[in-house]
Amino acid sequence: MTTPVDIPIDPSLVDLYKDLHRHPELGFQEQRTVGLVVERLESAGFDVTTGVGRTGVVGILRNGDGPTIAMRADMDALPVLEDTGLDYASTVTATDENGKTVPVAHACGHDLHTTCLLGAAAILASDISGWSGTVVVIFQPAEELGAGAQAMVDDGLWDRFPTPDVVLGQHVSPLPAGKIAGHPGASYAGSDSLRVRLVGRGAHGSMPEASVDPIVLAAATVLRLQTVISREIPSTATAVLTVGSIHAGDAANVIPGEAEIQLNIRSYNETVRGKILDSVERIVRGEAAASGVPDEPTITEIERFPVVTNDPDALGKTLSAFADWLGASNILDPGAGAGSEDVGILATSCGAPLSYWLLGGADPSLFTTGDMTDPALLKVPSNHSPHYAPVIDPTLATGVRALVIAARTWLG
């Protein structure tokens, strides 16, 4: 078996990555990506099943008795107009779930995740001398919609395929390329996005007395919502409530009939989450009643991500292997992050521990002070930015090797 530094990296992976980056696809639309994934997996000798959770792919590689591991990569892109200046930048547009034409870009690095897992899968299949057991590779759709992992589980993922002893995965981040980070316990926030429809009564702008003004109602509701975190949640708890969208009316002299608010909640604890959601409903309905609305407001869920919880022992085992490979100074604990992910559903749905880490993808030369809290680092493009794109070297090679090392660590 080759040592970590000797793990060969297929040169064609760079072209594959650029191809995926140039041709991004929205959640549950990843047909072209699926075709490339299937071609690579079948060439490596995996048993491949497509259409799991609509556009998900599962590959199985068996090598005698031993543990079963699952390794996951997400495939979907974002409705973002790329502005990286790269010669392989996306110029793609697509129709989203609302029928709107939007630009599409891999502004979160899922193209890199897919490439790294395909590279690792091929290496594991070509060198079976140092491990035994079963490898399950999961190429998941629609992570950005918060729906892909659950869709695969609902489609019988763990009834149709071997149940793993551990779920492994990684996410590229704006940390220095060549470094890996992981946090035990609650690692990524739970997220709830809600749409609130407030129904008023429209009227001419000159006759406000004939209206129930939904704009005034929306404004009062937004202000009251700001008190949830500051006045109802313990100061020792970490939570965020953001109103990210408010829309009503189209003319200056017309009081519209309704308004819409979209908000997002981030939390790390189910009790805190429940309290915030209850408070949101109380405030929305209370402000509506105070305004004398003709119809009750409606609150609907747009998307939900559960808290991602790394099993401390599982993550520790994986990071220890990474430290032996990269050196302890290159393994970081970033603390709990406010970002959200649905990878945890794959683990909790089958009772397996999760070991999920961050893969540095930013130009190391940007991190000149060595202080990861340096405010200047806020200028480094982050995931979901139109300027975000990881540096290929050494990020791609590090990501492939990390997955191979993690797999061999668990397969023994």
Annotated binding site for Mn(2+): 108, 110, 144, 171
Q: How many CA atoms lie within 13 A of 12 on its CB side?
A: 5
- The encoded tokens of residue 408 equal 């061999």
Q: Cα separation of 317 and 346, whole Å?
A: 19
CA angle 24, 28, 33 (to 5 degrees): 40
- Residue 299: beta bridge partners? 196
- Asked if residue 141 has a cis previous peptide bond (ω within 30° of 0), the answer is no
Direct distance between the N- and C-terminal alpha carbons of the chain, in angstroms, rounded to an integer: 12
- The encoded tokens of residue 196 equal 């609130």
Neighbours of 2 (CB within 10 A): 13
**Bind-site residues:** 108, 110, 144, 171
Left, alpha or beta for 106 (phi > 0: left; psi -120 to 50: alpha)?
beta
Inter-residue long-range contacts of 229-236, CB under 8 Å, 24+ positions, other chains counted = 229/276, 232/275, 232/276, 232/279, 233/272, 233/275, 233/276, 234/272
